[in-house]
Every structure is written in C-alpha cells, then in structure tokens.
Structure 1
C-alpha cells in the first residue's frame, strides 16, 4: 500500500488533470445529453452496453455478473493505459467519452424519474463507482503520462540527453507494476460490490 501511494503521489498532477477532464466531460454530457445520446446510439455504444446487461439478466448470479463486469473493466482500463504510448490520445478520448456517458445517463435518468441528478449520482453511481471511477481515472492518467513520456523520450534522443531519458523511463516503468496491481484490486472490489447489488436486485 505504501508503494502504491508513493507511485500515485509521483503522478498526482496527471491524476488531478485526468479527474478534472472526467468531471468536465460528465458536465458536458449532462448539458448536451440529447445530442450526445443520439451520437452514442449511432456509434453503437449503447448497443454494446445493452448486450452486456442482457447477458447478466439471462443469468443474474453473483459469479456470472462478477466475471463479466471484472473482465470488461480490466480490459478497458489496461487497454487505455497501454495504448497511451501513442501520444496519449486513446486514454484521453476514452476518459472524455466515459465522462460524457455518465453525464448522459444521469440526465436521461433524472428526466425519466424526476429525481435530482445529484441524488441519483450519490445513490446509484457512487456505491459501486467509488472504486471503479478512481481506477479508470488513474489508468487514464498513466496512459496520458505514457504518451508524454514517449514524446519526451524521442525529443531527448534527438537533443542528445539519452542518459536523462533512460533514467526517467526507468523511474516511470518501476511504478507501473504496483499501479496495475492497485487498479486490479480496485476493480476487483468494485465488481464484487456491483455483482452483489445485481444479485440482490434480481432476487
């Protein structure tokens, strides 16, 4: 835990930036819910989510829901981190799209139920998202950081500061394994909570 906190502290600025971007995109998604809802439907995003929900509904057992939720979340976050090497574009876009989706869902749900969106956020999203969202934000932050490290590394090689490039890359890569383990544990707990809630509701 100490190593994980140290690794997160080293990238606290990137994590803060990722968190603010996620919050901004969520607000943007809420404000422009109608337009973004149609865009997401055209892109097939809702169809993929509905297929996942259908699979869980067909067999709403704890183990089935847990395995599906955990695998999907792990695949999404680790892909976001790894593809950050391409200038950090993928984690940035994934972060913004996920935030926008959250905003759209809150707006649509509030419109249908008449409930306060803040109340919906506190009672429906945060109970299982309290660990899932930080894991996604941390993954995006490290993915974007990886992209900037790549840019900086190429620039360092061009300008002749190879020793400093190697040193920074070594320090960064040393933090990756403990961060990945932390993310996996966060997502494990989040999937367990969400699966338990699904099982209870199904009964």
Structure 2
C-alpha cells in the first residue's frame, strides 16, 4: 500500500488533470445529453451496454455478474494504460467519452424518474464508482503519462538527452506494475459491490 501511494503521488499532476477532464466531460455530457445520446446510439454504444446487461439478467448470480463486470472494467482500464503508448491519444479519448456517457446516463435517468441527478449519482453510481472511477482515472492518467514519455523520449534522442530519458523511463516502469496491482484490486472490490447489489435486486 505504501508503494502504491508513492506511485500515485509521483503522478499526482496527471491524475488530477485526468480527474478534472473526466468531471468536465461528465458535466458537458449532462448539459448536452440529447445530442450526445443520438451520437452514442449511432455509434452502437448503448447496444453494447444493453447486451452486457442482458447477459447478467439471463443469469443474475453473483459469480456471473462479478466475472462479466470485472472483465469488462479490467479490459477497459488496462487498454487505456497500454494504448497510451500511442502518444496518449486513446486514454484521453476514452476518459472524455466515459465522462460524457456518465453525464448522459444521469440526465436520461433524472428525466425519466424525476429524481435529482445529484441524488442519483450518490445512490446509484458512487456505491461501486467510489472504487471503479478512481481506478479508471488513474489508468487513464498513467496511459497519458506513458504517451508523453514516448514523445519526450523521441525528442530526447534528437537533442541527445538519452541518459535522462532512460532514467525517467526506468522510474515510470518501476511504478506501473504497482499501479496495475492496485487497479486490479480496486476493480475487483468495485465489481464485488456491484454484483452484490445486482444479486439482491434480482431476488
């Protein structure tokens, strides 16, 4: 845990920037819910989510829900980290799109139920999102950091700063496994909470 906290502190600026970007995207998604909803439908995003929900509803057991939720979230977060090597574009886009989706979902649900969106956020998103969202934000932050390091490394080769580049790469690569383990545990805990809620509702 000490090593994980150290790894997070070392990238606190990137994590803070990623968190703010996610929050701004969610707000914009909420404000522009109608137009974004149509765009997400056209892109097939809702269809994929509905298929995942249908799989859980067909067999709403704890283990089935846990496996599906954990695997989907793990694949998404680790993809943001790994594909960040391409100059950080993928984690940036994933963070923005997921934030916007959250805003759209809150707006649609609030409109349909008449509930306060803040109350919906607290009661429906935060029970599992308290662990899941930080894991996603940290994954995206490290993905963007990885992309920046690639760009900086190329520039270092041009100007002749190979030693400094190598040292910073070594430091980053030492932190990444620790962060990945933390993400694995956070997502597992989040999936367990969500699966428990799904099982209780199904009964």
Tell me which interval the TM-score lies in, with the shorter structure as reference length: over 0.9
Tell me the equivalent position of 1:139.
139
Distance in structure 2 (CA, Å) of the matches to 1:130 and 1:31: 23
Q: CA deviation at 1:78?
A: 0.3
| Residue 9 (structure 2) pairs with residue 9 (structure 1) | yes
Distance in structure 2 (CA, Å) of the matches to 1:69 and 1:108: 22
| Residue 131 (structure 2) pairs with residue 128 (structure 1) | no
Distance in structure 1 (CA, Å) of the matches to 2:46 and 2:113: 20
Q: Which runs of 5+ in 2 are unaligned?
A: none
Aligned to 1:55, the other structure's residue is in SS state helix
Q: CA deviation at 1:18?
A: 0.1
Tell me the equivalent position of 2:185.
185
Q: CA RMSD in A?
A: 0.3
Tell me the equivalent position of 2:95.
95
Tell me the equivalent position of 2:31.
31
Aligned to 1:112, the other structure's residue is in SS state helix
Distance in structure 2 (CA, Å) of the matches to 1:202 and 1:129: 20
Tell me the equivalent position of 1:64.
64
Q: Deviations over 1:71-93 (max 9, x none)?
A: 00000000110000001000000
Distance in structure 2 (CA, Å) of the matches to 1:115 and 1:2: 41
Distance in structure 1 (CA, Å) of the matches to 2:27 and 2:132: 19
Distance in structure 2 (CA, Å) of the matches to 1:144 and 1:131: 20
Q: Which TM-score applies when normalising by structure 2?
A: 1.00
Q: Deviations over 1:76-112 (max 9, x none)?
A: 0001100000010000000000000000000000001
Tell me the equivalent position of 2:114.
114
| Residue 78 (structure 2) pairs with residue 78 (structure 1) | yes
